[in-house]
């Protein structure tokens, strides 16, 4: 008997999801996180989870882990003392960035902290030109001196980023050897390894972030690996990257910058797997937590991978799922501003003191209070009765707000939800309509503790006709870890006009990428049948600066491949911008190969359908204020754990489970599918 285990370590809880390969049963275990050393909470969670299913660590065939260690170290400035060596004359580039100020109108705003102070940023003479030729050779003595200087100043990490290293990495290669000679104990990040792409500031920033986080991540994975090995784990644990793929712990420690979105990306991967199981492959994910929410779009089962994004103020050129974050969640506070409009967030009451109804000292109304007042959430208890709340405190908090607005209390509570839904809809428009996708063609997948409560309403705001709520929405990220492939992305930048390029030129670039991917397959010990390679090229009109990725089939590059590129680009350009420029030349910019090692995934067996009657799961009824009626209506209450495949829950209804609450509004019905997902659609 073997078990597959996913562990998602968040700020408050560590979720463990155990999948029995033999029976297909899923067991969930939750323990408090240990933020000072997350490996403790994780090991405890795994040990206790194994106890729950009466097995030991030797029976684990796969352990996947999503972590916020890198993100938190970046946000909280807890990376290591880092030095930077760059081309002479450009050491301040890290601080200058793109010369834009942090806020257009707010004179008090600040830029994010520069990760390397000015005295630890050193310039060394060397210069490569725009065609990759060397104008000035690296001054090796000066470089050696700079390394000694940084060592003497006590840095733990050294970043090296020279101009044009994406075209010619000879100086950086030499630099790496000198560091290895002079300062072998340093963590070293070289820009041509980390992000060998055009635009020096973004490449520099990525390299520095990697150096800054490297030793933190190395320390973390070593400690965790040791604890898990001590527990009896026999397999190599895997860690999720921001691109949604998993990678070996040690590789992750070399490239921590690739794991900053490790946490949210696992939710997207879970949604992708659910889409595959259910055959619903056009999905928009909506993950609503306590202080923030993440949204992403999957078209044809694939989430767009962006190769650059700004994370916590730092530009990062690494492959990341295109996830958009909004600073509003269940704990966000609603208030009236000095112009008399109602606003929600970004201030949050967090878990402590939490919403007004917790009675822990906060008297400002939150999104949760609005749901409690309207009774869309249980007005007496949370967490299956484990925590008592006081609706009167929510009413009092919202009444104060209503008085200031001159509105009814219930209308005000409803208004808070309207605004939250509008903010979420705005974020979803960014990832859908702004990228040329109509949300009405998509199914909304709602998860996170607060997602399923607002989902039906959000779907209606966007004209989406279907909502899917997974069976364990509150711990979906941990589940996603059981469904993730190994993945690594390789790229090479080489500018060429499509009408002047030859298939041989392009083939040569892809051959190099295939070789790099093959080396990775070997290093990760991925058997040939499990290897998959997806090729793409970033294309633009010659003269533009933003490229559009066009997928191309694997195999020898021919003139037909060029036709595929041309047609794919024109179609995408028209979809994004509404026009094509007749007769203008196209330019190939960056060539990409995404290598996947297909792992055997948790395989959920469909349940037999039991008929539509969900009566056996009814636990009672309560009045719930529904926006459709603009009044309280009697809603039937259901226990999610008792619902069987095939059951249909007609609205108005509330479906409760330990980790979330799903609202089924009047006029809609929730059908339990064979995988125990809830599918909300207009009632027949």
Work out how close the CB of 172 gets to other proteins at its nearest, in angstroms, rounded to a whole number: 15
> Does 171 contact other proteins by CB under 8 A?
no
d(CA 472, CA 632): 28
Q: Is 339 exposed, middle or buried (0-12, 13-18, 19+ CB in 10 A)?
A: exposed
Q: Which stretch binds other proteins (CB under 8 A): 69-77, 193-201, 386-394, 446-454?
A: 193-201
Work out how close the CB of 479 gets to other proteins at its nearest, in angstroms, rounded to a whole number: 32
Q: Distance between terminal CA atoms of the chain? A: 44
> Does 381 contact other proteins by CB under 8 A?
no
Q: Please report which helix (H) or strand (E) contains residue 14, including its range.
A: strand 13-20
- Residue 146 vs 664, nearer CB to other proteins: 146
> Does 235 contact other proteins by CB under 8 A?
no
Site map (CB under 8 A) of other proteins, residues 564-593, x = contact: ------------xxxx-x--x---------
> Does 675 contact other proteins by CB under 8 A?
no
Contact assessment for residue 638 and residue 669, using Cβ atoms and an 8 Å cutoff: no
- Residue 370 vs 478, nearer CB to other proteins: 370
SS3 83: strand
Cβ atoms within 10 Å, residue 126: 26
The partner residues of 545 in beta bridges, in order of sequence, read none
> Does 232 contact other proteins by CB under 8 A?
no
d(CA 485, CA 597): 6
Contact assessment for residue 533 and residue 595, using Cβ atoms and an 8 Å cutoff: yes
- Residue 121 vs 471, nearer CB to other proteins: 121
- Judged by CB under 8 A, the residue of 133, 434, 500, 502 near other proteins is 434
Query: Nearest-CA neighbor of 210 among 251, 157, 173?
Result: 157
Q: Which stretch binds other proteins (CB under 8 A): 195-203, 246-254, 527-535, 655-663?
A: 195-203
> Does 107 contact other proteins by CB under 8 A?
yes
d(CA 591, CA 227): 40
> Does 423 contact other proteins by CB under 8 A?
yes
Q: What is the CA radius of gyration of the chain?
A: 26
Residue numbers 10-69 binding other proteins by CB under 8 A: none
> Does 117 contact other proteins by CB under 8 A?
yes
The CA-based angle 370-375-376, given to 5 degrees, is 80
Contact assessment for residue 188 and residue 145, using Cβ atoms and an 8 Å cutoff: no
Site map (CB under 8 A) of other proteins, residues 459-498, x = contact: ------------------------------------x---
- Distance of CA 88 to CAs 81, 116, 123, 138, 139, Å? 21, 16, 4, 10, 10
Site map (CB under 8 A) of other proteins, residues 530-569, x = contact: -----------x-xxxx-----------------------
Q: Is 106 exposed, middle or buried (0-12, 13-18, 19+ CB in 10 A)?
A: exposed
> Does 627 contact other proteins by CB under 8 A?
no
- Judged by CB under 8 A, the residue of 383, 422, 629, 641 near other proteins is 422
d(CA 539, CA 544): 10
Please name the residues in contact with 369: beta carbons below 8 A apart, sequence gap of 6 or more. 355, 356, 357, 393, 394, 397, 398, 413
SS3 398: helix
Site map (CB under 8 A) of other proteins, residues 328-357, x = contact: ---------xxxxxxx--------------
- Judged by CB under 8 A, the residue of 23, 36, 76, 106 near other proteins is 106
Count residues binding other proteins (CB under 8 A). Answer: 63
Residues that bind other proteins (CB under 8 A): 89-93, 95-96, 98-108, 110-111, 117-119, 129-130, 163-164, 198-201, 337-343, 405, 407, 411, 415, 418-419, 422-423, 426, 429-430, 433-434, 495, 541, 543-546, 576-579, 581, 584
């Amino acid at each position: 008997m073997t078990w597959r285990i996913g562990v998602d370590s968040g700020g408050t809880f560590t979720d463990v999801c155990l999948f029995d390969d033999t029976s297909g049963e899923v067991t969930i275990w939750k323990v408090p996180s240990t933020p000072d050393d997350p490996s403790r909470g994780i090991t405890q969670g795994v040990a206790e989870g194994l106890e729950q299913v009466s097995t030991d660590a030797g029976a684990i065939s796969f352990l996947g882990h999503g972590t916020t260690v890198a993100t938190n170290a970046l946000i909280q400035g807890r990376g290591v003392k880092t030095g930077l060596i760059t081309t002479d004359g450009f050491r301040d580039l890290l601080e200058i960035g793109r010369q834009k100020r942090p806020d257009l109108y707010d004179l008090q705003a600040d830029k994010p902290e520069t990760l390397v102070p000015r005295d630890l940023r050193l310039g060394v003479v060397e210069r490569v030109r725009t065609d990759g030729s060397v104008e000035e050779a690296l001054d090796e003595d000066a470089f050696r001196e700079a390394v000694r200087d940084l060592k003497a100043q006590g840095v733990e990490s050294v970043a090296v980023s020279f101009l044009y290293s994406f075209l010619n990495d000879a100086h950086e290669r030499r630099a790496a050897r000198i560091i290895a000679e002079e300062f072998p104990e340093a963590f070293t990040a070289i820009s041509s390894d980390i992000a060998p792409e055009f635009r020096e500031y973004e490449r520099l920033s990525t390299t520095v972030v990697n150096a800054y986080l490297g030793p933190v991540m190395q320390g973390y994975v070593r400690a965790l690996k040791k604890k898990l090995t001590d527990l009896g784990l026999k397999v190599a644990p895997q860690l999720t990257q921001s691109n949604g793929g998993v990678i070996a712990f040690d590789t992750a420690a070399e490239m921590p910058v690739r794991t900053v979105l490790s946490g949210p990306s696992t939710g997207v991967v879970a949604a992708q797997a659910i889409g595959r199981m259910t055959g619903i492959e056009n999905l928009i994910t909506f993950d609503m937590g306590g202080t923030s929410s993440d949204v992403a779009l999957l078209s044809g089962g694939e989430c767009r991978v962006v190769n650059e994004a700004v994370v916590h103020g730092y530009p990062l050129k690494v492959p990341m799922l295109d996830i958009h974050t909004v600073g509003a969640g269940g704990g966000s506070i609603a208030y009236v501003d000095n112009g008399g409009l109602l606003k929600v967030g970004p201030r949050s009451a967090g878990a402590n003191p939490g919403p007004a109804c917790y009675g822990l000292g906060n008297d400002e109304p939150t999104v949760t209070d609005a749901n409690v007042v309207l009774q869309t959430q249980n007005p007496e208890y949370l967490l299956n009765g484990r925590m008592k709340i006081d609706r009167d405190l929510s009413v009092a908090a919202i009444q104060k707000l209503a008085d200031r607005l001159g509105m009814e209390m219930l209308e005000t509570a409803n208004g808070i939800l309207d605004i939250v839904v509008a903010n979420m809809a705005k974020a979803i428009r960014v990832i859908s309509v702004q990228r040329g996708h109509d949300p009405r063609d998509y199914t909304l997948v709602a998860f996170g503790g607060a997602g399923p409560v607002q989902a039906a309403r959000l779907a209606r705001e966007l004209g989406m006709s279907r909502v899917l709520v997974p069976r364990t929405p509150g711990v979906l990220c941990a589940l996603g870890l059981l469904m993730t492939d190994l993945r690594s992305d390789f790229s090479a930048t080489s500018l060429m006009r499509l009408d002047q390029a030859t298939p041989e030129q392009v083939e040569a670039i892809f051959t190099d990428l295939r070789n790099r991917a093959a080396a990775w397959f070997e290093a990760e010990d991925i058997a040939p049948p499990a290897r998959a390679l997806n090729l793409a090229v970033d294309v633009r009109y010659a003269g533009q600066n933003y490229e559009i990725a066009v997928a191309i089939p694997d195999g020898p590059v021919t003139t037909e491949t060029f036709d595929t590129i041309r047609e794919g680009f024109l179609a995408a350009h028209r979809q994004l911008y509404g026009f094509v420029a007749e007769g203008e030349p196209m330019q190939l910019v960056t060539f990409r190969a995404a290598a996947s090692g297909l792992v055997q995934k948790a395989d959920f067996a469909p349940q037999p359908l039991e008929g539509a009657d969900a009566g056996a799961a009814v636990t009672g009824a309560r009045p719930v204020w529904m926006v459709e009626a603009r009044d309280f209506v009697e809603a039937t209450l259901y226990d999610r754990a008792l619902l069987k495949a095939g059951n249909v829950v007609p609205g108005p209804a509330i479906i409760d489970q330990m980790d979330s609450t799903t609202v089924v509004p009047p006029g809609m019905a929730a059908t339990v599918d064979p995988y125990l997902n809830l599918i909300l659609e207009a009632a027949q």
